[in-house]
């Protein structure tokens, strides 16, 4: 209990840092239980891992907020934020954060996390604690104050219902339930995304996820696409529905096209109240696709886009350690379809032009049988008709997509207008001189014989077990920074994985790769392996990713799409 803890810490005051090791174990601190799961070996090693818990009945959280999975996720998120706030309160030297305690502060999204877990009996906060040191000596007395005074005070302020704002907690839960209710309604409404009137899409800066603030022009839906939904709480929202099919966003430079697409891309996650994007809700599997030259690829069938390379490389099973702009974008797209994405989000700013379009003059100069690339404009309809995969595309620099678009939306001074009829009229008046189809319905079979199907049965890719268990991999995979995973001797670069939003997701991805490697066999393809892993997370919780009992680290749940993306970017990957 508390006296034991104080006595132990007092006795090691001034001794070598490693004497902190004696701390391992459990202590009762009033109504809290402190569990010291892993003690850091020296002051420069990763911090110690501890958990502080209390009984659910002592926390007195209203039961109706915790009776479903979404409620528990929302309450956990709320408590994590409350804990992080309590840690940074107080004068700088008295604050818990300054004293080296961390819970992993969430960003603008509400994600399933390991930071606070709620079970039938317990509420547990997972902390990392940098135990105080002077040089290489343990400051035991200071540690005693930190663990027996500061920490329980913070836990008291963050985990007890009586110290929280009950209205704020309730609306946090209600918001997440409504957001996810809206997401489930998208499919029946045949929408890939919804953006409510009044949303604020722009961010403060390129490297900030915070809202721009007073300068932002609020979102207003064009009448032609306006939809309304009634949500679980009875709340009603009105805004723009982005229909399934092919949607093209046009407009002059700097008029807000990329900002709109970025908001749709982030809409796969629920955002906190006040973010401005809390009512931007996108179908959960939507995948952002971009060119990523230099990435590796392992046995991906990109033949729908690229075939007959002069080098003789087989694009039905395309492997490369250094893909070009167009082949990397084709690889990203096919992998996203393989991961189950039902919508693709593509911005001209980050696309390879020769992957997206080829103009009439070039089609005349270079005959089709001399051009290995079939541009996306010729395949975008087949993706939808054969496979049900929609596309939302930003194209300010080319009208090539007008005739294959179901709807065209123009942005002018950040304001939206439906220009579908005009765009279709322009396309009809300026028919392309090549064999290109004019109507969306005929476009599915562009330049192929009718009945040629390209996206219905992509070949299964079964990872080779030895490629996931390289001889030189002796340590668990781990994240190194927010967008890098070290897997054996290889660094997996996730810089281009745009919908990875939290470093704790990257940490979870590192652990997911190790679990995938353990579970791989000669039968299951990547989709099946990830599917089984996702099922384990659903049934056993995110803690399952960690091989250790107790504190699993600060993890946040990634989507299946990002698990695919991480595995697919592993340079050691080979497939059967
Ligand atoms: P585009 O892709 O059309 O060139 P961007 O989306 O990159 O344009 O936006 C250009 C600039 O305008 C960015 O700095 C962005 O933050 C800002 N912006 C975008 N949408 C809005 C808005 N609704 N209100 C205010 N500023 C905006
Ligand atoms: Mg742009």
Tell me the three-class secondary structure of 137-182, residue by residue: EECHHHHHHHHHHHHHHHHHHHHCHHHCCHHHHHHHHHHHHHHHHH
In the chain, what is the straight-line distance between the N-terminal and C-terminal CA atoms, in Å?
Answer: 56
Closest-lying ligand to the alpha carbon of 249?
1
Q: What is the pLDDT of residue 91?
A: 58
**Residue nearest atom 20 in ligand 1 by C-alpha distance:** 256
Q: What is the pLDDT of residue 471?
A: 87
Tell me the residues surrounding ligand 2 (ion) with CB < 5 Å.
257-258, 349
Ligand 1 centroid, distance to 359 Cα (angstroms): 28
Q: What is the pLDDT of residue 92?
A: 59
Mapped onto helix, strand or coil, the DSSP state of residue 21 is: helix
> For residue 260, which atom of ligand 1 is closest to its CA?
6
Does residue 245 have its Cβ closer than 6 Å to ligand 1? no
Spatial neighbors of 550 by CB under 8 A, at least 6 apart, are: 35, 37, 38, 49, 51
| Bridging pattern class, strands 25-29 and 32-38 | antiparallel
Q: Which helix (H) or strand (E) holds 51?
A: strand 48-55
Spatial neighbors of 259 by CB under 8 A, at least 6 apart, are: 201, 202, 203, 414
**In this structure, what DSSP letter does residue 315 have?**
G
Q: What is the pLDDT of residue 493?
A: 98
Does residue 262 have its Cβ closer than 6 Å to ligand 1? no
Ligand 2 centroid, distance to 313 Cα (angstroms): 34
Spatial neighbors of 482 by CB under 8 A, at least 6 apart, are: 500, 503, 506
Closest-lying ligand to the alpha carbon of 412?
1
Ligand 1 centroid, distance to 260 Cα (angstroms): 8
Encode the chain (576 residues) as per-residue pLDDT tens digits: 889 999 999 999 999 999 999 999 999 999 999 999 999 989 989 999 999 999 999 999 999 999 999 999 999 999 999 999 999 887 555 677 778 899 999 999 999 999 999 999 999 999 999 999 999 999 999 999 999 999 999 999 999 999 999 999 999 999 999 999 999 999 999 999 999 999 999 999 999 999 999 999 999 999 999 999 999 999 999 999 999 999 999 999 999 999 999 999 999 999 999 999 999 999 999 999 999 999 999 999 999 999 989 889 999 999 999 999 999 999 999 999 999 999 999 999 999 999 999 999 999 999 988 999 999 999 999 999 999 999 999 999 999 999 999 999 999 999 999 999 999 999 999 887 544 444 444 433 344 455 577 898 889 999 999 999 998 889 999 999 999 999 999 999 999 999 999 999 999 999 999 999 999 999 999 999 999 999 999 999 999 999 988 999 999 999 999 999 999 999 999 999
Does residue 276 have its Cβ closer than 6 Å to ligand 1? no
Ligand 1 centroid, distance to 175 Cα (angstroms): 27
> For residue 217, which atom of ligand 1 is closest to its CA?
24
Q: What is the pLDDT of residue 435?
A: 45
User: CA 496, CA 203: separation in Å to the nearest integer?
Assistant: 19
Ligand 1 centroid, distance to 255 Cα (angstroms): 6
Phi and psi for 172 in degrees, rounded to 5? -60, -45
Does residue 259 have its Cβ closer than 6 Å to ligand 1? yes
169-173, Cβ contacts within 8 angstroms, sequence gap of 24 or more = 169/61, 169/65, 169/75, 169/78, 170/62, 170/65, 171/273, 172/74, 172/75, 172/77, 172/78, 172/272, 172/273, 173/65, 173/70, 173/71, 173/74, 173/75, 173/78
> For residue 200, which atom of ligand 1 is closest to its CA?
23
**Residue nearest atom 25 in ligand 1 by C-alpha distance:** 216
Dmax (CA) for the chain in angstroms is 87
Ligand 2 centroid, distance to 353 Cα (angstroms): 14
Phi and psi for 99 in degrees, rounded to 5? -80, 0
> For residue 394, which atom of ligand 1 is closest to its CA?
2
User: CA 288, CA 262: separation in Å to the nearest integer?
Assistant: 9
User: CA 207, CA 482: separation in Å to the nearest integer?
Assistant: 13
Does residue 201 have its Cβ closer than 6 Å to ligand 1? yes
Ligand 1 centroid, distance to 344 Cα (angstroms): 21
User: CA 383, CA 263: separation in Å to the nearest integer?
Assistant: 23
Best mutation site among 198, 200, 256, 263 for ligand 1, i.e. most ligand atoms within 8 A of its Cβ? 256
Does residue 211 have its Cβ closer than 6 Å to ligand 1? no
Please state, in angstroms and as integers, the Cα–Cα distance from residue 204 to each residue in 216, 276, 288, 394, 435, following that order.
Answer: 9, 12, 21, 21, 46
123 DSSP β-pair partners: 54, 118
Using alpha carbons, select from 296, 382, 363 the residue that is nearest to residue 335. Answer: 296
Ligand 1 centroid, distance to 282 Cα (angstroms): 20
User: CA 44, CA 226: separation in Å to the nearest integer?
Assistant: 56
Does residue 251 have its Cβ closer than 6 Å to ligand 1? yes
- DSSP 3-state helix, strand, coil percentages of the chain (rounded to 5)? 35, 20, 40
Q: What is the ipTM of this complex?
A: 0.99
> For residue 414, which atom of ligand 1 is closest to its CA?
23
> For residue 349, which atom of ligand 1 is closest to its CA?
2
């Amino acid at each position: 209990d508390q006296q034991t803890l104080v006595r132990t810490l007092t006795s090691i005051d001034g001794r070598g840092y490693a004497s902190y090791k004696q701390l391992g174990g459990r202590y009762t601190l009033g109504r809290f239980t402190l569990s010291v799961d892993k003690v850091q070996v020296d002051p420069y090693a990763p911090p110690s891992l501890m958990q502080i818990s209390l009984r659910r009945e002592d926390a007195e959280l209203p039961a109706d907020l915790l009776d479903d999975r979404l409620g528990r996720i929302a309450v956990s998120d709320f408590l994590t934020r409350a804990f992080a706030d309590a840690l940074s309160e107080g004068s700088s030297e008295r604050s818990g954060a300054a004293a080296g305690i961390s819970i992993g502060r969430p960003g603008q999204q509400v994600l399933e996390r390991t930071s606070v877990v709620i079970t039938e009996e317990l509420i547990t906060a997972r902390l990392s604690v940098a135990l105080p040191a002077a040089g290489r000596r343990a400051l035991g007395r200071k540690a005693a104050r930190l663990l027996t005074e500061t920490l329980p005070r913070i836990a008291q302020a963050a985990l007890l219902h009586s110290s929280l704002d009950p209205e704020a907690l309730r609306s946090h839960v209600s918001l997440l339930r409504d957001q996810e209710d809206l997401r489930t309604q998208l499919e029946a409404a045949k929408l890939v995304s919804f953006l409510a009137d009044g949303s604020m899409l722009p961010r403060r800066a390129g490297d900030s996820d915070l809202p721009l603030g007073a300068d932002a022009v609020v979102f207003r839906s064009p009448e032609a696409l306006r939809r309304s939904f009634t949500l679980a709480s009875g709340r009603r929202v009105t805004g723009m529905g982005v229909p399934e099919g092919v949607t093209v966003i046009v407009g002059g430079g700097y008029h807000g096209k990329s900002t709109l697409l970025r908001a749709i891309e982030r809409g796969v996650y629920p955002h906190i109240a006040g973010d401005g994007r809390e009512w931007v809700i996108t179908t959960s599997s939507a995948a952002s696709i971009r060119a990523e030259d230099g990435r590796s690829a392992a046995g991906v069938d990109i033949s729908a886009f690229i075939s007959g390379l002069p080098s003789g490389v087989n694009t039905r099973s395309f492997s490369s350690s250094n893909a070009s702009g167009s082949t990397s974008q084709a690889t990203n797209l096919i992998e996203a379809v393989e991961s189950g994405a039902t919508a693709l989000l593509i911005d001209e700013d980050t696309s390879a032009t020769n992957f997206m379009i080829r103009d009439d003059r070039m089609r005349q100069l270079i005959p089709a049988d001399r051009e290995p690339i079939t541009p996306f404009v010729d395949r975008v309809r087949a993706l939808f008709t054969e496979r049900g995969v929609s596309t939302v595309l930003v194209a300010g620099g080319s009208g090539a997509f007008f005739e294959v678009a179901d709807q065209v939306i123009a942005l002018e001074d950040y304001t939206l207008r439906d220009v579908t009829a005009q765009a279709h009229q322009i396309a009809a008046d300026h028919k392309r001189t090549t064999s290109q189809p004019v109507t969306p319905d005929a476009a599915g079979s562009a330049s192929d014989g009718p009945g040629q199907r390209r996206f219905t049965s992509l070949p299964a890719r079964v990872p080779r077990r030895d490629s996931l268990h390289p001889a030189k991999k002796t340590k668990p995979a781990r994240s190194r920074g927010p967008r890098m995973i070290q897997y054996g001797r290889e660094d997996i670069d996730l810089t281009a994985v745009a919908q990875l939003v939290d470093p704790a997701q990257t940490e979870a991805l590192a652990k997911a790769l190790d679990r995938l490697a353990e579970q791989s066999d000669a039968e299951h393809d990547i989709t099946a392996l990830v599917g089984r892993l996702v099922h384990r997370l659903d049934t056993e919780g995110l803690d399952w990713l960690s091989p250790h009992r107790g504190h699993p680290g600060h993890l946040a749940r990634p989507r299946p799409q990002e698990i695919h993306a991480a595995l697919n970017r592993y340079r050691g990957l080979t497939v059967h």
